[in-house]
Structure 1
Amino acid sequence: MSTEQTVPDEIMTAMAKAVEQGRAGDTRAAREALEQLWESVGDHGDALHRCSIAHYAADLQETVTDELMWDERALAAVTDLTDERARKYHDSLQVRAFLPSLHLNLADAHRRAGNATEAQHHLAAATETVHLLPDDEYGQMIRAGIAKNHAALGENAPTQPPPHRQ
């Protein structure tokens, strides 16, 4: 996500700070900061906030069970998110482009938890939507994650349609 914002957003700024804290190695403090943000937003608060907080909180969990809970929250929140709301934060965001990553994260966590059927379901959803991503570094990372999970499940990765061009 670009750092350019259309509208300043204190929750997104605090979330980005927590994510950087986690990337710097202080995962416990980052996890606690994101959990506090989640509590302040609430289960029915702003969908962009819920989706983003849950998406990043999942990466900081100590157990795959907790990771799955947060990944499921992120996917549930995205169903309430509109392009109009996302573009108030940054004018380049499209909600449908969130789906490949959200489904990939669920597929990977379910695979690691031993839930092959659920993993395959979410991997199929990620594969079906990955064409929405451009052929940039981020899109390539998601495509590589999809291929890795197909291989880990003993599947051949389906041939991908060309990346989405804007």
Structure 2
Amino acid sequence: MTEIHTPRLLLRRWHDDDLVPMADINADPQVMRWIEDGSALDLEETAEAIERWEEEWDEEGFGLFAVELLASGELAGFVGLSVPHFLPEVLPAVEIGWRLGTPFWGQGYASEAAQAVLEFALQDRGLDRVISIVRPGNDASENVMRKLGMVPERETTHPVHGFPLNVYAIDLTEYVG
């Protein structure tokens, strides 16, 4: 079982009891405003998403980690790696992404977890490049990308929803950590 420990977080595979707290995160309009068309997800949609995330672990050898706070055991959300099939123009690529509940914003958890996931991508999975995709205006996520050493690579448009997207990238052969 793949786990990563950081000073404040445990990054781990998904448990059954993660469903309700992740559904609460996915139901928050503030959280979802930058995701796809901004629609919130219900319990059933969250269960389907977690199932897909776990399947990606089995198929790709990487995926989205559940992020648990070591101090309290609370589920903060996810940070991890995925293949961005929705944007064929960047393939083959592996994307790093995150989604945390609003109580966990502004405390450095996304950066802390993403830094650990980048090291996992390089050291454990042997990836040489990772991208991240963001909608313009999502300044908090762009700040995390910059902290990771990622640089803007291209501007594009979401193929389904038509809104602009920015693609950031980092060459992990030059990653310092």
TM-score by length of 2: 0.32
Considering fraction of residues, name the structure with more helix: 1
Considering fraction of residues, name the structure with more strand: 2
